Structure 1
């Protein structure tokens, strides 16, 4: 799977959502009415409600799309757990950063608006539950129930850390590192989620009942060569 390239994944700068996020950032979330926001993006109030639902929903429209795409990937994937998780999470990153300017404005808006931060926590839990259901489905027999819960939470935490690096430093390599980090994370929970134990060998050695310990060790050593 190729590394994510955010440099060439911009949406149109005048898309309705981008315009809405910019307007909310510049004028304040609490101070903006739905009617003024609809006017700013060139929609009637009724069209705005049909398309986005509310001014809160327009801020998180990318997340709604990313969650929908992620669910489809998790349902359809026949790859290993680590590859499926990495692929799905990188696609979420691609959606959320495809318009870097809007992504950063949305982050600024969330930091300054407690109501939106609460909604962000709800969405974070949606990602966790989605990963948890997938991991529980593919888990090996005997995997403890908390295994899928813990790994799902870790996946979201690792992704959010990479996203913060990208937001803060503009580091496109953050997502290349994310792929490696997620693969390593899932691998550390082998064999619960499709990992493989280290190779092992069974050695069968025949020896006389009266053989000395040195003779036994010698026969075993021969088989291991």
Structure 2
């Protein structure tokens, strides 16, 4: 059992949550691209320097900790049964994202990512990092010969799975949250595998 968070950590989380709430309100009022870090800091009652103590950039306010999310997906993938084929394994691992602690309501995050070019770019960077994280396990699941670096087929597999995830999220966003994102993902994967 993990130790409870310290007072300092609880305070840090509370300040991050307050800054995030303020930023999301400003994004809703002015748009993501039009809202500056200086505006977020001023509305939060902190300095620009303090903002960067809590967040690397304003994209992190929306996307959350993409490194931690990627590690969680990798851990979920690596803990799947070793004999499980690659598609069911990566699908199950990506399901961990449904319980991810996003800073905002998932549909609002999806809309912002869809509409803001800088968020789209950050999202693509995340995918490239996740390819490196997930490709080694997929390499093994594809039955490829052992190698110091993952075979391009393993990287392409992960890229395709992430593209299916993006297509599903975009379609879910376009349906205003009415469609089942898991069904949309499964349909996208089925189209690739046909």
Q: TM-score, normalised by structure 2?
A: 0.67
Paired position in structure 2 for 1:102? 108
For the pair shown, the structure with the greater C-alpha radius of gyration is: 1
Paired position in structure 1 for 2:13? none
Paired position in structure 1 for 2:74? 71
Question: Aligned partners of 1:129, 1:185: CA distance in 2, in Å?
Answer: 24
Paired position in structure 2 for 1:155? 161
Q: Tell me the CA shift for residue 160 of structure 1.
A: 0.9
Aligned positions, number: 171
Paired position in structure 1 for 2:151? 145
Paired position in structure 2 for 1:173? 180
Q: Specify which structure has the bigger relative contact order, considering alpha-carbon pairs within 8 angstroms and separated by 6 or more residues.
A: 1
Question: Aligned partners of 2:33, 2:172: CA distance in 1, in Å?
Answer: 28
Q: TM-score, normalised by structure 1?
A: 0.59
Instruction: Name the CA shift for 1:72/1:98 in 2 (closer, same or farther; >3 Å).
Output: farther
Question: Aligned partners of 2:32, 2:104: CA distance in 1, in Å?
Answer: 23
Matches of residues 25-104 of structure 1 in structure 2 within 5 Å? 25-29=28-32, 31-41=34-44, 43-61=46-64, 63-78=66-81, 80=84, 81-95=86-100, 99-104=105-110
Q: Tell me the CA shift for residue 43 of structure 1.
A: 4.7
Paired position in structure 2 for 1:114? 117
5+ residue gaps in structure 2? 1-16
Instruction: Name the CA shift for 1:33/1:177 in 2 (closer, same or farther; >3 Å).
Output: closer
Question: Aligned partners of 1:32, 1:177: CA distance in 2, in Å?
Answer: 32
Q: Tell me the CA shift for residue 75 of structure 1.
A: 3.3
5+ residue gaps in structure 1? 1-13, 190-225
Q: Please report the RMSD computed on the Cα atoms of aligned residues, expressed in angstroms.
A: 3.5
